[in-house]
Amino acid sequence: MPGDEEKLKDVNGHLPFDVNETMLHAAGIKYFDVTQNRGEVLFVPSGWHHQVHNLVSQKNKLFLFHAGSTYVACVSP
């Protein structure tokens, strides 16, 4: 949820480059683990931090659509 990222900051106020489940559990942060398939759209609300990991190397393209302060991701078929 917005604001939970504050729980992950170090003493200098920096967020980690990579976050894993262990870190999220330790900080008591609720998270969503989503697998996006070809042709699907994922809406990430404004202010929600997110992290992307590719499960396989793909030649597909990821398109980000900008609407105000919100981005919508779509993987091409």
2/27 same-domain check: yes
Give the confidence band of 12 by pLDDT, cuts at 50, 70, 90: very high
Indicate the pTM of the whole model. 0.56
pLDDT at residue 66, rounded to an integer: 56
46/23 same-domain check: no
The two beta strands, 62-67 and 41-44, are unpaired
41/74 same-domain check: yes
pLDDT at residue 31, rounded to an integer: 82
Determine the structural domain holding residue 61 and report its residue range.
36-77
The number of domains in the chain is 2
What's the distance, Cα to Cα, between the start and end of the chain in Å?
Answer: 30
Per-residue pLDDT tens digits for 31-72 = 888 887 777 777 877 777 777 776 766 665 555 555 555 555
pLDDT at residue 11, rounded to an integer: 93
48/23 same-domain check: no
pLDDT at residue 43, rounded to an integer: 80
